[in-house]
Amino acid sequence: MTNSPTTKKPRKETSSRDAELTKGRILDAAEDEFAKAGLLGARTEAIAANTKVTKAMIYYYFEDKEKLYQAVLERAFARRVSAIQKLDLAGTPPAQALRLVVESFLDEVSQHPNLSAILFYEAMQNKGRFYKDIAIATLYEPIENIIARGIEVGAFRQVDPRHSAVNIMGACVFYFCARENVKHLWEPGTDLLSPEMVKQHVTEAADFVLAGLRK
Partner DNA sequence: ATATTAACTAACTGGATAGTTAATTATCCG
Partner DNA sequence: CGGATAATTAACTATCCAGTTAGTTAATAT
Q: What are phi and psi of 42, to 5 degrees?
A: -65, 140
Q: Among 112, 213, 199, which Cα is nearest to 163's?
A: 213
The interface region with a second copy, picked from 52-60, 90-98, 104-112, 181-189 by CB under 8 A, is: 181-189
Q: What are phi and psi of 214, to 5 degrees?
A: -60, 155
Least Cβ distance, residue 6 to a second copy (angstroms): 42
Neighbours of 173 (CB within 10 A): 20
Contact (Cβ atoms closer than 8 angstroms) between residue 26 and residue 68 = yes
Contact (Cβ atoms closer than 8 angstroms) between residue 75 and residue 112 = no
- Selection from DNA, a second copy, none that 56 binds (CB < 5 to 8 A by kind) is DNA
- Selection from a second copy, DNA, none that 164 binds (CB < 5 to 8 A by kind) is a second copy
Nearer to a second copy, 62 or 175 (CB): 175
Least Cβ distance, residue 36 to DNA (angstroms): 12
Residues engaged in binding DNA (CB under 7 A): 10-12, 14, 16-19, 22, 42-45, 52-57, 59-60, 64-66
Nearer to a second copy, 153 or 178 (CB): 178
User: Is residue 19 a contact residue for a second copy (CB under 8 A)?
Assistant: no
Q: Please enumerate in sequence order all residues whose Cβ is within 8 A of that of 40, keeping only pairs 6 or more positions apart, or say none.
A: 121, 125, 126
Nearer to a second copy, 58 or 118 (CB): 118
Least Cβ distance, residue 46 to DNA (angstroms): 7
User: Is residue 81 a contact residue for a second copy (CB under 8 A)?
Assistant: no
Size of interface with a second copy, in residues (CB under 8 A): 60
Q: What is the dihedral of CA 80, 84, 86, 92, to 10 degrees?
A: 170
Helices (H) and strands (E) in the chain, counts: 10, 0
128, 153, 193, 194: which one contacts a second copy (CB under 8 A)? 128
